[in-house]
Structure 1
Amino acid sequence: MPASRVPDSAYALVPALRETIREAAGLALPFFRAGEKTAARIWSKAGGSPVTEADIAVDTFLKVRLSSLLPAAAWLSEETVDDAQRLGADLVWIVDPIDGTRAFLTGHPDWSISVALLAGGEPVLGFVHAPVSDHFYEAVAGQGATRNGTPLRASTQAALAGARVTGPKPMMDTLARGATRDGVTPDFVVVERVPSLALRVARVAEGSIDVGLVSSDARDWDLAGADLLLREAGGSVSDLSGIATTYNRTDPVHGALIALPDGLRAQTVDALARG
């Protein structure tokens, strides 16, 4: 659904969404301990990934609040049982109540709350809030993206040589091999991996990272809100062949991805293919 066809009522939600997401952060922050283990109860989900009582509290709060703000929208989140009704819905909330749960539970500051509204399968509202730093990112399709009110622009880096790159080491090694010319390996600036995937993509959107590499197994809720930030800032999230990411499919799991400015896409795709 093009942005021009999105109901005005959805765009009018932005102020209420800001307030709602900040309220949700207020539920999680009391459990966070900088540099220490969380005060929240922790258990393992099927598959072994951790979840805390803070994840559940934020998820429950957002489901109630967002559903009341836009009753027509379906729902998909990390901590709620999937409902196939979303597949036939024009409007869908995509939510990660705490993206970077392992960071949250070990006292690392780089966790976030990610919220997106899809219309016709495309993100039209996107929010990523990092409560510890109080960085609040938001985007409206066709109207740009901001961090705490300041417009975002992706990097203008024109070459992989010297690019600031972050992500899993195997993918970084592949990129370096593929980008090697005449026996000279490009001099990447390696950025420490950002545990919250939504926040990693948001930092590409703000221009502090040039190339964000994403290993396979990311989910819609990790990506949708941050992807809109990047699209509005001059880039996007795509697969390794450069095809833009799509959302609200039957299986919300993705393969390996790249998040980067439009100007680096062709070089990066080529390097990964040759690496």
Structure 2
Amino acid sequence: MPDPISADSVSALMPALRGVLREAADLALPFFRQGDHTSARVWSKAGGSPVTEADVAVDTFLKIRLSELVPQAAWLSEETADDHARIGRDLVWIVDPIDGTRAFLSGHPDWSIAVALLSAGEPLIGFVHAPICGKAYEAVRGQGATCNGQPIRVSAQAELPGARVTGPKPMFDRLERGVSRTGAQPDFTMIERIPSLALRLARVAEGAIDLGLITANARDWDLAGADLVLREAGGSVRDREGRMPVYNRPEPVHGELVAVTDALRAQALSAWQTGG
């Protein structure tokens, strides 16, 4: 199916979108206190996960501004009640106003604002904006990925043993077992877990990490924008069977996943499956 939005229209959108992401960050930053608890009001959503007034303010702002830029697009966000009218729509905004809310409220710098525009079910535009880290990642399908305007590429690591890995320890242990069963020594470098899932994928995209492990129950808004950045940088997100995520389903929830460079994908999937 052809894109329902032209390449020229996408190019024309990008400067405005960059400005919107900067303004969204400016809304969140007054509530953030590095190394200290947020000044924002905090409460618990159904299920117990935290939300702050900064999440809600950024979500409201983005819904207004992004809907003005592409009024025909449907909407899916962590902080907005889901409207299943989005199902089957050609264009859909997928937004996490603050990815890594626990990091944000505790003063950890690794949180981000993640935005994707889906076209015909696939990410067409992706942004991961990490203001405390000073990093703005973006990608347009087929046009490569950048950080702060400079092209980025995944690492050149060609062998799974010795790779830099981040993610939950049970998945890390399973990957180690899979490599060990081949007779090789894993020799992984374990990187401290990154609270923002979108930022975890972006760091694989920029070559700072070789492999990112993702527990079950990630949502579309955690993944879609960063997924495109990673694809355009030479990697992808895969499930245990090697399939890429499908977005904008009635339940936008995913199982265990791995974010990996193209060069390591076959080895990583084999070790993951073999490890149990």
Common fold by TM > 0.5 = yes
Aligned equivalents of 1:220 and 1:182: distance in 2? 34
The answer for the alignment partner of 1:229 in structure 2 is 229
The secondary structure found in structure 2 opposite 1:258 is strand
**Superimposed CA distance per residue, residues 25-79 of structure 1 (whole angstroms, 9 cap, x where no aligned partner):** 0000000000000000000000000000000000000000000111000000000
Q: Given that residues 177 and 185 in structure 1 are in contact (C-alpha distance below 8 angstroms), is that contact kept between their aligned partners in structure 2?
A: no
Structure 2 equivalent of residue 128 of structure 1: 128
Counterpart in 1 of 2:58?
58
Q: How does the TM-score come out when normalised to structure 2?
A: 0.97
Aligned pairs for 1:60-209 within 5 A: 60-181=60-181, 184-209=184-209
Residues 98-134 of structure 1, C-alpha deviations (whole Å, 9 max, x = no match):
0000000000000000000000110000000001022
Aligned counterpart, 1:21: 21
Q: CA RMSD in A?
A: 1.1
Contact 2:205 2:233 (C-alpha < 8 Å) held by counterparts:
yes
Alpha-carbon spacing, 1:120–1:182, altered in 2? closer, same or farther (3 Å): closer
Q: Which residue of 1 aligns with 2:5?
A: 6
SS of the residue corresponding to residue 264 of structure 2 reads: helix
Pair 1:45-2:42 in alignment: no
Q: Secondary structure at the match of 1:12?
A: helix
Aligned equivalents of 2:12 and 2:88: distance in 1? 24
Q: What is the CA-CA distance between 1:185 and the residue it aligns to?
A: 3.3
**Distance in 2, Cα, partners of 1:86 & 1:238:** 24
Stretches of structure 1 that go unaligned for 5 or more consecutive residues are none
- Report the 3-state secondary structure (helix = DSSP H, G, I; strand = E; otherwise coil) of the residue aligned with 2:87: helix
- What SS is found at the alignment partner of 2:247? coil
Q: Deviations over 1:114-158 (max 9, x none)?
A: 000000110000000001022000000011110001101011211
- 1:145/1:229 contact within 8 Å kept: yes
After superposition, the C-alpha distances for 1:140-180 in whole angstroms (9 at most, x for unaligned) are 00111100011010112111111000000000000000011
Shift of 1:181: 4.5
Matched residue count: 274
Between the aligned partners of 1:165 and 1:216, the Cα distance in structure 2 is 17
- Could you tell me which runs of 5 or more consecutive residues in structure 2 were left unpaired when the two chains were aligned: none
Query: Is the aligned partner of 1:258 residue 2:251?
Result: no
Aligned runs of 1:206-221 on 2, under 5 Å? Answer: 206-221=206-221
1:83, 1:45 → 2: CA distance?
Answer: 18
How far, CA to CA, are the matches of 1:74 and 1:6 in structure 2? 14
Q: Report the alpha carbon displacement of residue 183 of structure 1 after superposing the two structures with TM.
A: 5.1
**Alpha-carbon deviation of 1:2?**
5.0
